[in-house]
Structure 1
C-alpha cells in the first residue's frame, strides 16, 4: 500500500494506466488460440482438414515464438521511434489480424491461421513497450511498484480461458476474434489519448545498439538467466497455451462423468476452460509473491524451492495416471510455482545486471518465449508419438532438474562476487 501511496504526485498516471490496459489486453489476445484450440480444430475438420497433434502444437506455439523474437524488434522501435509510436503500430497489426480472422470465419485455412498466429505475436511483444514506457516516467525508487502495475497483464490469459470458450459456444469461435478486435480498438483509441512519451527533463533515452546485446550475450550469467526464465516463464506460458488441448485430450470423459453439468450445462469445452483458468490464475497472480519470497529468503533458495516443486509435480504427472481432480491439483501447483519462480528470477536479474536491465529484460524475455514454444512443441510431439503426455512431462521435468543443477553450479560464485554488493539477498 505504501508503494501505491508513493505514486501520488509522481510520474504520469494516465500513461501508467494506458500501459497497463495495453499490456493486459495484448496478453489476452496473444494467448487466445489456446482456449479456442478445440473449437478451431473442429471447424477445420468440418472443412476436411484434420489437424495432427504436431500441427495443433505448431499453431499454438507460433504466437509464443513470434512474441519472443518481436520483443527485441519492438525494443529497438522504442529507442528509435518512441514507445507510443511503436505501441500504436504494434496494436494496429494485432487489430488487423483479429478482424481478418473474424471476417474469414469458418472458411479460414490452416495456413491463414498460421499467419494470424504470427500477427498475434505482436501482442506478446507488448512487454517490451508497455513496461519501459511506464517506467520512464518514474524515479528508480518507484520502479518496482510501477512495473508491477504495468506488468500485471499476465491475468489476461485467465480472462481468455474464462470467457473465450463460452463466447465460442454461444456465437461461434470466430466471434471471439470479433470481441477481441473491438476491445483492442477501444484500447487503441484510449491509449492514443492517454499515453505520452516521457519528456527529456524526465527521461533521457539511451538507445540500445546491437553491440550492447552482443556484449551481454558473451556473459555466461546471461545464459544462466536465460535457462532459468525459459523454464519458469516458458513453462508458465507453454502450459497456459496448451492447457485446453491437454485437458480435452486427457480428461474429457472424466469431466463429463464427474457430473460437472452444474458448471456449464455439461459443455465439456467450456468446463475445460474454467479448470484451465483456475490453474493459470495461480501462476499469474503469484508472480509478485515469488518476488517477495525471494526478497526474504534469497533468489537462489527460493528457486530451489519453486523449481524443486515443479520437477516433483511434473514427474508425478508423468509416471502416475492421476484422477481428474488430483491432476488439476498437480497442474495448479506446477503453475503456481512457475509463476513464483518468474518473480524470483527477476528478483536476481536487476541485482546482477542493474545497469543493463532494459536490454536484459528483452533478452531474458525472448528466452522465456522460446522456452514456451519448446514446451508446446514437446507436448504435441509426445501426444503424436505416444498418444499421451507422459514423455512430454518427463522431458520438462528433466529440463527443470538441469536448471536446478545450474543453480548449484553458480550459487557460490554469485554469492562471493556480484552478490556481495548487490544490495539484496542472493
Structure 2
C-alpha cells in the first residue's frame, strides 16, 4: 500500500512539481470567468448588454465545454508530440486569450468574451497533458498518489476566488486577466526549462491513430470511467464555476451582513469569492488524499463512500432551506468528497488502461468537462425556470445515484478480470 513517503527515490520529482504547477496555473485561468461573472455582467450592462441567466450560464460553461473537447485533442498530442511540446503550444494559446481580454478591457463585447472563453478551454485541457506526463515516470502502485498530486493543481480555482474579485474591485475586471497573463508567462518559462518527458527506458510512447480512439470507445469500461469522472470532476468544476453566481443569488443578504459585522466592508462580490474559495479549497487539496485512500482500500470502495456522501449532501441542499453558514459547511463537504472522488477515479484508470493512458486521460477528462458543462447549464436552467436551484441540485443527486448503481454492476467483474494483475488495489 503506497503512500507519499514511497515517492522518495522514484520517478522525477522536478517534472511532477512542474506538472502540478502547470495544471495549477491552467486551472486558475480556465475558471477565471466564474469569480468575475458579476463584475463582467456589470461592465457589459454599461454598454447596454444585460446578460440573462442563460447567457451567463453559457459564458461560464463555454471554457468547460471547449476544455472538455480539447482534452481529446491534447491527449492525441501527448502521444504524437510528447507531453512537453503539447503543453507549451497549449500554454501559448492561453496566454494569447488572456492578453486579448486584458487589452480589450471594458470595450469587450459578449461575443468577444465567448471567443476568449473558447481560448481558455486550452487551459482546462491541460489535464490531458499534466497527468500523463507525471504518471509516465512512476510505477502502477504509485499512480493514485502521483496523479493525485499532479491533479491537485485544481487548487488554482481557489486562487481565483480569493484574489480575482479583490483585484477587480481595485483595478477593474480586465486587470485580473493581465495578472493572469503575467503569471502564465512565468510558468511557461519555468516549465520549458524544468519539465521533462519520461525517457524510453521508463516509458515507451505508443503513438495512436484515430482508429485507436474508436477502439477504446468500444470498450465498455471506457464509458464507465467517463460516467464516474463526469460526476466527480464535472461536479467539482461545475459547482466551482457556478459557485459565485449561486452564492450571490441565494445568500447575498447574509454575506453583506457578515461583511459589515466582521470584515467592516459590504462588498458582497468579494465576500462571495472568499466563501467560494473556502468550499473549492476542500475539493482541490483533498484530491491526492482521495487517490491515497484508493491506493489503500481500493478505488471502488472509496468511490462508494465519496459518491454516497455527495448524493446525500446535495439532496439536503436541494430540499432544505439551510442557514447561510450551514449551507457553506455542506458545500464544503460536497466539494471535499468530489475532490477525493477525482483522485479515486484516477487511481483506477491507469491500472485498467496503463498502455493507453495518454488517450484515456483525454477521453475520461473530456467526459469530466462535459459533466461540468451540463451541471452549470442545469443550474442556470433551474434558476431561470423556477427562480431557484432545487431542481438542478436534485438532478445532480439523481445522477450520482446512477453512478453508485453502476459501481455495483462493475465491481465484481473488475476485481476478477483486469484487477487481478493490475498491480494496485481495486
Q: TM-score range by the shorter chain?
A: over 0.9
Matched residue count? 423
For the Cα contact (< 8 Å) 1:15–1:134, is it kept in 2?
yes
Q: Alpha-carbon deviation of 1:48?
A: 0.9
Residue 259 of structure 1 deviates from its aligned partner by 5.0
Q: Which runs of 5+ in 2 are unaligned?
A: none
> CA 1:422 to 1:140, structure 2 compared with 1: closer, same or farther past 3 Å?
closer
Q: Residues of 1 paired with 2:81 and 2:409: CA distance?
A: 41
Residue in 2 aligned with 1:192? 192
**TM (normalized to structure 1)?**
0.94
Corresponding residue for residue 376 of structure 1: 376
Provide closer, same or farther for how the CA distance between residues 294 and 84 of structure 1 changes in structure 2, counting only shifts above 3 A: closer
Q: Which structure 2 residues correspond to residues 19-418 of structure 1 after superposition, within 5 A?
A: 19-137=19-137, 143-263=143-263, 265-418=265-418
Distance in 2, Cα, partners of 1:26 & 1:406:
32
Determine the C-alpha separation between the residues in 2 that align with 1:264 and 1:111: 38
The CA distance in 2 between the partners of 1:175 and 1:85, in whole Å, is: 29
Instruction: Note the alpha carbon deviations across 1:216-264, whole angstroms, 9 max, x for none.
Output: 1111121111111101110001000000000001100111134554336
Deviation string, structure 1 residues 134-157 (Cα, Å, up to 9, x no partner): 444556666555444433311111
- Structure 1 stretch displaced more, 383-392 or 68-77: 68-77
Contact 1:16 1:134 in 2 (8 A): yes
**Per-residue deviation at 1:333?**
1.2
Does residue 8 of structure 2 align to residue 5 of structure 1? yes
Per the normalisation by structure 2, the TM-score is 0.94
CA–CA distance in structure 1, aligned partners of residues 348 and 63 of structure 2: 28
| Secondary structure of 1:34 counterpart | coil
Q: State the secondary structure of the residue aligned to 1:35.
A: coil
Structure 1, residues 173-210: CA drift from partner, whole Å, max 9, x if none? 11000000111111222222333444555543210221
Deviation of 1:414 after TM superposition, in Å, equals 2.6
Task: Call closer, same or farther: CA 1:145–1:264 in 2, change over 3 Å.
Answer: farther
**Alpha carbons 2:35, 2:161 under 8 Å: kept:** yes
Could you tell me which runs of 5 or more consecutive residues in structure 1 were left unpaired when the two chains were aligned.
none
Q: Matched residues in 1 for 2:131 and 2:34: separation?
A: 25
* 1:132–1:297 distance in 2 versus 1, CA, 3 Å: closer
Cα distance change on mapping 1:264 and 1:304 into 2, 3 Å = farther
| Residues 144, 346 of structure 2: 8 Å contact kept | no
Say whether the 8 Å CA contact 2:232–2:339 is kept in structure 1. Answer: yes
Instruction: Summarize the Cα distance change of 1:145–1:415 in structure 2 as closer, same or farther, 3 Å threshold.
Output: closer
Q: Distance in 2 between matches of 1:17 and 1:203?
A: 19
Superposed CA RMSD in Å reads 2.0
Does the CA contact (< 8 Å) of 1:264 and 1:270 recur in 2? no
